[in-house]
A and B are shown apart, each in its own frame.
Chain A
Amino acid sequence: MANYPFGDSGFDSLFDAVQEQMDQILRSAGLPATLRALPGGRFPPVNVGISDDAAIVVGFIPGVEPETLNVSIEKGLLTISGERKSPPLPENARYYARERAEGAFSRVIELPGDIDPDNVEARYTDGCLAISIKKKESSKPRLIAIQ
Protein backbone atom coordinates (compact mmCIF):
# COMPACT_ATOMS: atom_id res chain seq x y z
CA MET A 1 0.00 0.00 0.00
CA ALA A 2 1.33 3.43 -0.86
CA ASN A 3 0.99 6.62 1.09
CA TYR A 4 -1.41 9.18 -0.23
CA PRO A 5 0.69 11.68 -2.15
CA PHE A 6 -0.12 14.82 -0.14
CA GLY A 7 0.65 18.09 -1.80
CA ASP A 8 1.61 16.46 -5.04
CA SER A 9 -1.64 16.91 -6.91
CA GLY A 10 -0.45 19.85 -8.96
CA PHE A 11 -2.95 22.15 -7.26
CA ASP A 12 -0.29 23.53 -4.97
CA SER A 13 1.91 24.61 -7.81
CA LEU A 14 -1.12 26.06 -9.57
CA PHE A 15 -1.91 28.22 -6.54
CA ASP A 16 1.75 29.16 -6.23
CA ALA A 17 1.70 30.33 -9.82
CA VAL A 18 -1.38 32.46 -9.20
CA GLN A 19 0.20 33.94 -6.06
CA GLU A 20 3.40 34.64 -7.93
CA GLN A 21 1.50 36.41 -10.69
CA MET A 22 -0.36 38.51 -8.12
CA ASP A 23 2.94 39.38 -6.47
CA GLN A 24 4.36 40.50 -9.77
CA ILE A 25 1.36 42.64 -10.66
CA LEU A 26 1.26 44.27 -7.25
CA ARG A 27 4.99 44.77 -7.17
CA SER A 28 5.05 46.43 -10.56
CA ALA A 29 2.38 48.79 -9.21
CA GLY A 30 4.76 49.69 -6.39
CA LEU A 31 2.70 47.98 -3.71
CA PRO A 32 3.97 45.39 -1.30
CA ALA A 33 2.56 42.09 -2.49
CA THR A 34 2.14 40.59 0.96
CA LEU A 35 1.75 41.96 4.43
CA ARG A 36 5.45 41.83 5.16
CA ALA A 37 6.37 42.56 1.55
CA LEU A 38 8.23 39.32 1.06
CA PRO A 39 8.94 38.32 -2.49
CA GLY A 40 7.33 34.97 -3.09
CA GLY A 41 5.46 35.27 0.19
CA ARG A 42 7.92 33.40 2.38
CA PHE A 43 11.26 34.06 3.91
CA PRO A 44 13.77 32.59 3.81
CA PRO A 45 13.58 30.46 0.67
CA VAL A 46 14.84 26.95 1.38
CA ASN A 47 16.35 24.25 -0.81
CA VAL A 48 16.58 20.67 0.34
CA GLY A 49 19.00 18.19 -1.16
CA ILE A 50 19.88 14.62 -0.31
CA SER A 51 22.95 12.58 -0.93
CA ASP A 52 23.76 8.97 -0.11
CA ASP A 53 24.90 9.85 3.40
CA ALA A 54 23.26 13.15 4.33
CA ALA A 55 20.34 15.53 3.94
CA ILE A 56 21.38 19.09 3.19
CA VAL A 57 19.12 22.06 3.79
CA VAL A 58 20.13 25.48 2.51
CA GLY A 59 18.36 28.58 3.78
CA PHE A 60 18.93 31.76 1.78
CA ILE A 61 19.08 34.28 4.62
CA PRO A 62 21.30 37.19 3.64
CA GLY A 63 22.31 39.87 6.09
CA VAL A 64 21.94 38.29 9.51
CA GLU A 65 24.52 37.68 12.19
CA PRO A 66 25.15 33.91 12.32
CA GLU A 67 24.92 33.86 16.12
CA THR A 68 21.36 35.18 16.00
CA LEU A 69 20.14 32.21 13.95
CA ASN A 70 18.42 29.34 15.73
CA VAL A 71 18.52 25.87 14.25
CA SER A 72 16.84 22.97 15.99
CA ILE A 73 15.68 19.46 15.19
CA GLU A 74 12.77 17.89 16.97
CA LYS A 75 10.85 14.79 15.93
CA GLY A 76 12.22 14.91 12.41
CA LEU A 77 11.36 18.57 11.94
CA LEU A 78 14.10 21.08 11.31
CA THR A 79 13.31 24.62 12.45
CA ILE A 80 15.28 27.64 11.29
CA SER A 81 14.39 30.89 12.97
CA GLY A 82 15.89 34.28 13.54
CA GLU A 83 15.37 37.92 13.03
CA ARG A 84 16.55 40.30 10.42
CA LYS A 85 16.81 43.95 11.25
CA SER A 86 17.18 46.81 8.84
CA PRO A 87 19.46 49.64 9.85
CA PRO A 88 17.49 52.76 10.75
CA LEU A 89 16.68 55.10 7.91
CA PRO A 90 19.12 58.04 7.85
CA GLU A 91 17.72 61.43 8.65
CA ASN A 92 16.00 63.26 5.80
CA ALA A 93 15.77 60.02 3.84
CA ARG A 94 12.70 58.30 2.47
CA TYR A 95 12.05 54.87 1.08
CA TYR A 96 11.26 54.31 -2.56
CA ALA A 97 11.16 50.55 -2.38
CA ARG A 98 10.96 48.12 0.52
CA GLU A 99 10.90 44.56 -0.67
CA ARG A 100 13.42 42.97 1.65
CA ALA A 101 12.01 40.85 4.43
CA GLU A 102 12.34 42.37 7.84
CA GLY A 103 11.64 41.12 11.33
CA ALA A 104 11.31 37.68 12.83
CA PHE A 105 11.13 34.65 10.56
CA SER A 106 10.75 30.93 11.01
CA ARG A 107 10.73 28.00 8.64
CA VAL A 108 10.00 24.38 9.49
CA ILE A 109 11.21 21.64 7.17
CA GLU A 110 10.30 17.99 7.41
CA LEU A 111 13.39 15.82 7.20
CA PRO A 112 13.62 12.31 5.79
CA GLY A 113 12.99 9.66 8.45
CA ASP A 114 16.42 8.08 8.29
CA ILE A 115 18.49 11.03 9.53
CA ASP A 116 20.63 11.12 12.66
CA PRO A 117 19.61 14.22 14.68
CA ASP A 118 22.83 13.99 16.70
CA ASN A 119 25.03 14.42 13.67
CA VAL A 120 24.28 17.90 12.39
CA GLU A 121 26.53 20.62 11.07
CA ALA A 122 25.41 24.16 10.23
CA ARG A 123 27.45 26.81 8.49
CA TYR A 124 26.61 30.35 7.46
CA THR A 125 28.54 31.78 4.52
CA ASP A 126 27.74 34.65 2.16
CA GLY A 127 24.19 34.86 3.44
CA CYS A 128 23.42 31.15 3.02
CA LEU A 129 22.82 28.82 5.94
CA ALA A 130 23.81 25.29 4.97
CA ILE A 131 22.74 22.56 7.37
CA SER A 132 24.04 19.07 6.82
CA ILE A 133 22.31 16.23 8.69
CA LYS A 134 23.97 12.86 8.36
CA LYS A 135 21.86 9.82 7.71
CA LYS A 136 21.85 6.96 10.16
CA GLU A 137 24.59 4.46 9.53
CA SER A 138 22.01 1.70 9.09
CA SER A 139 20.20 3.49 6.28
CA LYS A 140 23.18 4.20 4.03
CA PRO A 141 23.13 2.34 0.75
CA ARG A 142 25.45 -0.63 0.76
CA LEU A 143 26.60 -3.25 -1.63
CA ILE A 144 25.70 -6.78 -0.74
CA ALA A 145 28.44 -9.19 -1.57
CA ILE A 146 27.23 -12.17 -3.56
CA GLN A 147 28.64 -15.43 -2.41
Chain B
Amino acid sequence: MNERNELAVKQEDRTGQPRGANLPAIDIFEDPTGITLVADLPGVTKDRLNIKVESEVLIIEGEASVQVPAGVRLVHGEMREPRFRRTFRLGPEFDRDAISANLKQGVLTLRVPRIREAQPRRIPVTAM
Protein backbone atom coordinates (compact mmCIF):
# COMPACT_ATOMS: atom_id res chain seq x y z
CA MET B 1 0.00 0.00 0.00
CA ASN B 2 2.87 2.31 0.75
CA GLU B 3 4.41 3.64 -2.39
CA ARG B 4 6.56 6.63 -3.20
CA ASN B 5 4.01 9.27 -3.75
CA GLU B 6 5.12 12.86 -3.66
CA LEU B 7 3.10 14.73 -1.11
CA ALA B 8 5.31 17.70 -1.76
CA VAL B 9 3.82 18.39 -5.15
CA LYS B 10 0.44 19.59 -6.31
CA GLN B 11 -1.26 17.13 -8.62
CA GLU B 12 -1.95 19.70 -11.32
CA ASP B 13 1.70 20.71 -11.45
CA ARG B 14 2.85 17.32 -12.60
CA THR B 15 3.05 18.16 -16.25
CA GLY B 16 6.71 17.28 -16.72
CA GLN B 17 7.47 20.89 -17.59
CA PRO B 18 10.55 22.40 -16.02
CA ARG B 19 9.42 24.13 -12.86
CA GLY B 20 10.92 26.37 -10.27
CA ALA B 21 12.87 24.91 -7.39
CA ASN B 22 13.10 25.66 -3.70
CA LEU B 23 16.07 27.64 -2.53
CA PRO B 24 17.34 25.57 0.39
CA ALA B 25 18.31 27.39 3.57
CA ILE B 26 22.07 27.31 4.08
CA ASP B 27 24.75 28.12 6.61
CA ILE B 28 28.26 28.86 5.40
CA PHE B 29 31.29 29.26 7.57
CA GLU B 30 34.90 29.68 6.74
CA ASP B 31 38.01 28.66 8.60
CA PRO B 32 41.66 28.98 7.51
CA THR B 33 41.64 25.67 5.61
CA GLY B 34 38.40 26.03 3.69
CA ILE B 35 34.67 26.62 3.80
CA THR B 36 31.86 24.45 5.12
CA LEU B 37 28.42 24.71 3.61
CA VAL B 38 25.40 23.25 5.40
CA ALA B 39 22.12 22.99 3.49
CA ASP B 40 18.64 21.92 4.55
CA LEU B 41 17.35 19.36 2.07
CA PRO B 42 14.46 17.62 3.83
CA GLY B 43 13.26 14.46 2.11
CA VAL B 44 16.26 14.24 -0.19
CA THR B 45 18.07 10.92 -0.26
CA LYS B 46 21.60 10.23 -1.45
CA ASP B 47 20.46 8.91 -4.81
CA ARG B 48 18.30 11.97 -5.45
CA LEU B 49 21.05 14.42 -4.66
CA ASN B 50 23.33 15.80 -7.33
CA ILE B 51 26.34 17.95 -6.54
CA LYS B 52 28.54 19.15 -9.35
CA VAL B 53 31.04 21.84 -10.24
CA GLU B 54 30.73 23.33 -13.69
CA SER B 55 33.53 25.72 -14.57
CA GLU B 56 33.52 27.90 -11.44
CA VAL B 57 30.00 27.19 -10.23
CA LEU B 58 29.07 24.71 -7.54
CA ILE B 59 25.57 23.34 -8.13
CA ILE B 60 23.51 21.53 -5.54
CA GLU B 61 20.35 19.85 -6.80
CA GLY B 62 18.07 17.45 -5.04
CA GLU B 63 14.55 16.16 -5.10
CA ALA B 64 12.51 15.40 -2.02
CA SER B 65 10.35 12.35 -1.79
CA VAL B 66 8.07 11.53 1.11
CA GLN B 67 6.63 8.08 1.48
CA VAL B 68 2.87 8.22 2.03
CA PRO B 69 0.06 5.81 1.24
CA ALA B 70 -1.45 6.01 -2.23
CA GLY B 71 -4.44 8.24 -2.84
CA VAL B 72 -3.39 11.21 -0.73
CA ARG B 73 -4.59 14.62 -1.88
CA LEU B 74 -2.75 17.72 -0.74
CA VAL B 75 -5.03 20.12 1.14
CA HIS B 76 -2.43 22.50 2.58
CA GLY B 77 1.06 22.91 1.21
CA GLU B 78 3.90 25.08 2.40
CA MET B 79 6.41 22.98 0.49
CA ARG B 80 4.80 22.94 -2.93
CA GLU B 81 7.84 22.03 -4.90
CA PRO B 82 9.93 18.93 -4.19
CA ARG B 83 12.99 20.14 -6.05
CA PHE B 84 15.83 22.01 -4.41
CA ARG B 85 18.49 23.90 -6.29
CA ARG B 86 21.14 26.38 -5.31
CA THR B 87 24.34 27.48 -6.96
CA PHE B 88 27.48 29.14 -5.65
CA ARG B 89 30.46 30.65 -7.35
CA LEU B 90 33.73 29.12 -6.25
CA GLY B 91 36.83 31.24 -6.30
CA PRO B 92 40.04 29.87 -7.80
CA GLU B 93 41.51 29.45 -4.31
CA PHE B 94 39.26 26.46 -3.63
CA ASP B 95 40.18 22.91 -4.48
CA ARG B 96 37.17 21.64 -6.42
CA ASP B 97 38.62 18.13 -6.69
CA ALA B 98 38.75 17.74 -2.93
CA ILE B 99 35.14 18.66 -2.09
CA SER B 100 33.57 16.16 0.28
CA ALA B 101 29.86 15.79 1.00
CA ASN B 102 27.84 14.18 3.75
CA LEU B 103 24.06 13.82 3.84
CA LYS B 104 22.34 12.97 7.09
CA GLN B 105 18.68 13.37 8.03
CA GLY B 106 18.09 15.77 5.18
CA VAL B 107 21.05 17.98 6.01
CA LEU B 108 23.90 18.22 3.53
CA THR B 109 27.33 19.21 4.79
CA LEU B 110 29.82 20.15 2.10
CA ARG B 111 33.44 20.76 2.81
CA VAL B 112 35.31 22.81 0.23
CA PRO B 113 39.01 22.98 1.12
CA ARG B 114 41.29 25.75 0.05
CA ILE B 115 44.16 24.94 -2.27
CA ARG B 116 47.23 24.52 -0.14
CA GLU B 117 49.01 27.54 -1.60
CA ALA B 118 46.03 29.68 -0.75
CA GLN B 119 46.05 28.74 2.90
CA PRO B 120 47.56 31.31 5.20
CA ARG B 121 51.11 30.41 6.02
CA ARG B 122 53.35 31.60 8.67
CA ILE B 123 56.77 32.43 7.35
CA PRO B 124 59.35 31.46 9.86
CA VAL B 125 61.82 34.16 10.62
CA THR B 126 65.21 32.95 11.54
CA ALA B 127 67.63 35.05 13.40
CA MET B 128 71.07 35.27 11.93
Contact = CB atoms under 8 A, between A and B. Distances in A.
B76 A62 contact: no
Interface in A31-88: 38-40, 42, 44-52, 54, 56, 58, 60-64, 86
Given A56-B69, A126-B43, A47 B7 contact: yes
A101 B104 CA distance: 17
Most B C-beta atoms less than 10 A away, residue of A45, A93, A128: A128
Interface residues of B, number: 39
Given A46-B76, A62-B42, A63-B40, A93 B26 contact: no
Contacts, number: 125
B78 A100 contact: no
Contact of B28 (A40, A56, A60, A95): A95
Majority DSSP secondary structure for residues of B touching A? strand
A94 B36 CA distance: 10
A94 B70 CA distance: 46
Contact of A127 (B38, B42, B67): B42
A48 B75 contact: yes
A96 interface: yes
A42 B69 CA distance: 27
A22 B17 CA distance: 28
A140 interface: no
Given A49-B68, A58-B68, A128-B106, 9 more contacts: A39-B25, A47-B79, A49-B74, A58-B8, A63-B105, A100-B27, A125-B67, A127-B43, A130-B67
Interface of A: 38-40, 42, 44-52, 54, 56, 58, 60-64, 86, 89-101, 109, 124-128, 130, 132
Closest 5 CB pairs of A and B: A127-B106, A62-B106, A60-B42, A63-B107, A45-B78
